Amino acid sequence: MATPSYGLAFDARAAAALARAPDIFLTELARGILEGQMLAEREVKERTPTSGAGTLRDSIGALPVQLSGDRVTGLVGTALAYAEPVELGSKPHMPPIEPLFDWVKRKLGLRNADDGKALGIARAIQWKIFHVGTKGAFMFRDTFSAIQPQLDAIMGAAALRAIHKVEGL
């Protein structure tokens, strides 16, 4: 995440505040990162395709903010292995039928009596993925592109709060 630039005077004040009271300055930046993470998490989840079960969407979350030296880092992500092909798409491959079958049943609200119909639809999807692959949803990329100005403003406000706190000492 890029830190906004408000000009040399602001940058000099921020550098002086960081040098004078790094704990106060970094704590304010950590609060800004947390606010940005909450925004990013919400926006990524809204852009995440749903399977009916919501497993991928529910797995997306913010990791704890990390303070290391004069760096503050915050991440939003998921540990689910299939998130990457959902994000980026995939080349043609033969996916297993069971998850597709379960997905079709959930997505279409089919009952056990409709297993033959669900299996036929799942096999058609499997065939298409085998021949064409899948398109990416780009929920992370598009979110961070869309909210970058908001993230810059959040971090700028956090830096300004830090400067005011340190200068008020």
For the entire predicted model, the pTM comes to 0.83
CA 160, chain centre distance (Å): 26
Residue 1: per-residue pLDDT? 41
Q: Report the distance separating Cα 166 and Cα 21, nearest Å.
A: 6
**In Å, how far are 81, 140, 144 from 132, measured between CA atoms?**
21, 23, 28
Residue 50: per-residue pLDDT? 83
Q: Which residue has the tokens 């994000």?
A: 87
Provide the token pair at 37: 């993470």
- According to DSSP, the residues that pair with 66 across neighbouring strands are 73
In this predicted model, what pLDDT tens digit does every residue of 79-125 receive, in sequence order? 999 899 999 999 999 999 998 999 899 888 888 888 999 999 999 99
Q: Report the distance separating Cα 50 and Cα 101, nearest Å.
A: 15
